[in-house]
Amino acid sequence: MIGRLMTMSAEPGKGGELAAVLLSVAQRLRGFPGCEIYLISQDAADPDTVHVTEVWRDDASAQAALAASSRAGGPTPGDVVALLSSAPHRTDLIVLGGVGLPNADDQP
């Protein structure tokens, strides 16, 4: 499994709108093959900062979801970028397991 932590800074006052767009993306990912976790969080101290925590079966699943979102008629990556004040920060992770992950016992 792979993971990503995305930190996004919205234009001032647009954090709620950014979070809403990302929650719409999350809704479309329910049941998407390979998507284990897609969690949207807003920073308690700075509501214009939004975090996305992702866990995917593999990179191919993450890439397939990105491609599908552009064709599904919902929010696109461009819709997200339009709300940002700067480029998102992405941290790639190797997921080791934990609570809430299916088959967490199968992880190395």
What does pTM read for this prediction?
0.86
Question: What pLDDT digit, counting tens, does each position of 49-103 carry?
Answer: 999 999 999 999 999 988 776 666 678 788 899 999 999 999 999 999 888 877 6
CA 64 from centroid of its chain's CA atoms? 14
Q: Give 8 or 70, the one with higher predicted confidence.
A: 8
CA distances from 89 to 74, 86, 100 (A): 23, 9, 25
Of the candidates 86, 79, 22, the residue with the CA atom closest to the CA atom of residue 54? 22
Question: 50 with 43: CB under 8 angstroms?
Answer: yes
**pLDDT class for 108, splitting at 50, 70, 90?**
very low
- For 32-92, the DSSP string reads -TTEEEEEEEE-SS-TTEEEEEEEESSHHHHHHHHHHHHHSSS--HHHHHTTBSSPPEEEE
Assign a CATH topology to domain 2-97. Answer: Alpha-Beta Plaits (3.30.70)
Alpha-carbon gap, residue 35 to 65, rounded angstroms: 8
Extents of the domains making up the chain: 2-97
Q: Mean pLDDT over residues 12-24, rounded?
A: 96
